[in-house]
Structure 1
């Protein structure tokens, strides 16, 4: 006799059925996304693994970025430090299901990081799982919408209802992996904190750090307990000393100096970056 199946239970069953046979294999990440897609509509997805202090590893991505691999290379090489999902997991130890707008600072969409990363991805909305899978190791399962239709509250509740299952599946797959123990990400955090400090005052360095993270002038003022006008003055002086004229130039100066300092062990990355000889002028 035919029976009616609960669609949500059927979708959950598909999630588990997709993932269990793939545990420990390269098929796990695409199987996980396939299972989640049975629960909610997903236009694009990626899975990024942050293991034991190492640089992140792109485990899975469905759609190539609009401008090729350069943006992804920059993200994996250091821009991830400014990502709200990364900051939530690595610095605030927040794990679960989140929308981007829950984690991002005010006016984040005006930041250069947003323009150079999220806009290039084509996302109109993003949510994802942040799953702790070991000591200083976690996974970001990012789910994106490319249309104007955003994730609904009902869809987010559905994702949160399977959160425990997704966490256990991810731990079962990734717990056996370990990082190099070199603490590369710790060094990059220090590099971000010290960026510009060889040229700027302590307060100017703090302002620049928050600007890089996507904070608005008002948000910087609130966090530092100073006036908006004072923030503007510190930013103006910092831009002049760094010889940049916009947030975009500041963003790329940070990334270029960071990615050129692969043997970084402390201090401001601009010291060695600015000391490099310029290429000879062509005749």
Structure 2
């Protein structure tokens, strides 16, 4: 299996003491059982301390499915945007999966766009959870599916240290072997399917493809996606092989045509339109939403 690795981090040396051996033994014992991911997180936190973590399935044809979420510290009492209702499509970890990213360990700071911390997705999800850092361990099941085990550090910590990331890389072969064995015994993917998940994902994908199509040009809609995802005008221009000045003009045109004045309004409008999307049609969910809320 080809594994994507973090570059420029020296290899770590891990001492297999009694505690670590016990945690590893628990992973082996729980393969194929519901407690597997609890055991895997316990093993990982003995190597790389975390405040919270979990596991989910990424799918190209369904919305992500949360298998486990656990916090070692008390959760913050905040109103968090429902990630699974559609915001996941803007998650850089999920976007990397859709782009075909291979099995490996990924730090958010290395995969997120340059202005991700100013994006509404970050402000309404990552920031509201109080996260300082996030690591995603991806095991690619096939072209359309992957298992994600994620680790989180809360503020006010400075995040995961390079040596902690290196320690996880050292045990990646063990982690992936356990995941593969567990997946083979438990048949994860068929168990999480369902018409509702499929329909929601199709609405989300249709919204990404068609949001604003009744008002915006094709290039403006491409710029719109990068705006929602947290890309600066400079990086957007680089991705679209354009110029920063042109992208800034297109951004102003998008704000004018959609009658919005901020990134927050754009993000909120996109999320509100998702339920009005029509899968398998090239119709604009924004037009359907505006027709529904129009007075009279």
TM-score, structure 1 as length reference? 0.86
Change (3 A) 1:263 1:103: same
Q: 2:215 aligns with which of 190, 199, 217?
A: 199
Q: Is the 8 A contact 2:233 2:247 kept in 1?
A: yes
Aligned length: 271
Gaps of 5+ in 2: 1-12
What is the TM-score of this pair, normalised by structure 2? 0.83
282, 286, 296: which one pairs with 1:270? 286
Q: Residue 60 of structure 1 aligns with which residue?
A: 68
Structure 1 residue aligned with 2:257, among 226, 241, 246? 241
Moved more, 265-274 or 158-167: 265-274
State the SS of the aligned residue for 1:125.
strand
**What SS does structure 1 have at the residue aligned with 2:151?**
strand
Residue of 151, 165, 171 corresponding to 1:156: 165
2:226 counterpart residue number: 210
Aligned to 2:128, what secondary structure does the other structure show?
helix
Would the aligned equivalents of 2:203 and 2:278 in 1 still touch at CA under 8 Å? Answer: no
Cα separation, partners in 2 of 1:136 and 1:12, compared to 1, 3 Å: farther
The residue aligned with 1:174 is: 183
Alignment of 1:1-283 (within 5 A): 8-10=15-17, 13-51=21-59, 53-63=61-71, 64=75, 66-68=77-79, 70-71=80-81, 73=82, 75-146=83-154, 147-175=156-184, 176-179=187-190, 180=193, 185=201, 188-258=204-274, 260-261=275-276, 264-267=279-282, 268-278=284-294
Can you list the C-alpha shifts for 1:112-164, whole angstroms capped at 9, x where unaligned?
11111110111111112011124511122111111323211111111011112
Q: Does the Cα contact within 8 Å between 2:224 and 2:254 map onto a contact in 1?
A: yes
| 1:236-264 deviation line (CA, Å, top 9, x unaligned) | 11112112111111111111111x13753
Which segments of 5 or more consecutive residues in structure 1 lack a partner in the other structure? Answer: 1-5
Shift of 1:87: 1.2
Q: Which moved more, 1:129-138 or 1:182-191?
A: 182-191
Cα distance, 1:101 vs structure 2: 1.0
Deviation per CA, 1:183-238, whole angstroms, max 9, x where unpaired?
65466334313221121011111111111111011111222222222211111111
Once residues 102 and 110 of structure 2 are traced to their aligned partners in structure 1, the CA distance between those partners, rounded to angstroms, is 12
